[in-house]
Amino acid sequence: MTMTEDLVCWSHEQKCLKAVASLEKNGFTAKYCAGPEAAAEYIIATAADAVTVGFGGSMSIVSLGVEQVLREQGKEILNHGSPAFSRDEKIAIMRRQLTCDLFLSGCNALTLNGELINIDATGNRVAAMFFGPRRVIVVAGRNKLVDGTPQDAILRVKAWATPPNSKRLNFKTPCSATGFCSDCNSPDRLCRITTIIDRKPRFTDVHVLVVNADLGF
């Protein structure tokens, strides 16, 4: 790395470590990961005793490449993302994710105060993040960090996460065409359910990996 790259990485590291400390204060199991490889290793190790592993449709998780590894280990993979599934098949998998041994998800935004902010269209992902699965691992890249309030984080999601997600899913929303949120009433609107997890849920073992790399949207 050049000196500039090294200093930028150091700056990101400090923010990641602050988020980890805040998450721990809020009751979560939190870990700083210097890169995607460390996050993937953590997930694979933590999945050792899991029989069923659910995937919440996260591009951050996809980028880690853990699904195929876990599949080859004999885990039952619950991933509703395949275009081959019918609507009813997708919903059936989503429901099974709610009671899986390990649920893997990204995070739309993470404040430096240790608050997890997410926006869903269906709610299956956010529901599984705080109740149902025996264990949850949330992966947040450094690009998801917000030095501000949950409301600032919501603005970050609508500005930087929802438009590319709408475009990826081929949803016919204004933001998928313009790249800007217009607080639409489109039938395909993604922004339907907003959650703020500011403390570890009482009955769910939530691990948050804060990664010093840009992951997802």
Cβ–Cβ under 8 Å, residues 117 and 158: no
Inside any domain, residue 51: yes
SS3 17: helix
Q: What is the pLDDT of residues 95-124, one digit of tens each?
A: 999 999 999 999 999 999 999 999 999 999
Q: What is the pLDDT of residues 4-41, one digit of tens each?
A: 999 999 999 999 999 999 999 999 999 999 999 999 99
CA 107 to the chain's CA centroid: 3
**According to the model, what pLDDT value does residue 1 have?**
80
Cβ–Cβ under 8 Å, residues 140 and 208: yes
Kindly state the helix (H) or strand (E) to which residue 155 belongs, with its residue range.
Answer: helix 150-156
Inside any domain, residue 92: yes
Residue 12: give the domain boundaries.
3-142+193-211
Inside any domain, residue 21: yes
The residue type at 1:
M
Q: Is 149 exposed, middle or buried (0-12, 13-18, 19+ CB in 10 A)?
A: middle
Nearest by Cα to 45 from 216, 167, 209: 209
Q: Token digits for 170?
A: 């081929």
| Sole residue written with tokens 């599934």 | 85
Find the CATH number of the domain harbouring 101. Answer: 3.40.50.10420
pTM exceeds 0.85:
yes
To the nearest whole number, what is the mean pLDDT of the chain?
A: 97
Q: How far apart are CA 29 and CA 51, in angstroms?
A: 21
Inside any domain, residue 177: no
Q: What is the pLDDT of residues 173-201, one digit of tens each?
A: 999 999 999 999 999 999 999 999 999 99
Inside any domain, residue 179: no
Number of folded domains in the chain? Answer: 1
Inside any domain, residue 134: yes
Inside any domain, residue 108: yes
**According to the model, what pLDDT value does residue 188 have?**
96
Inside any domain, residue 147: no
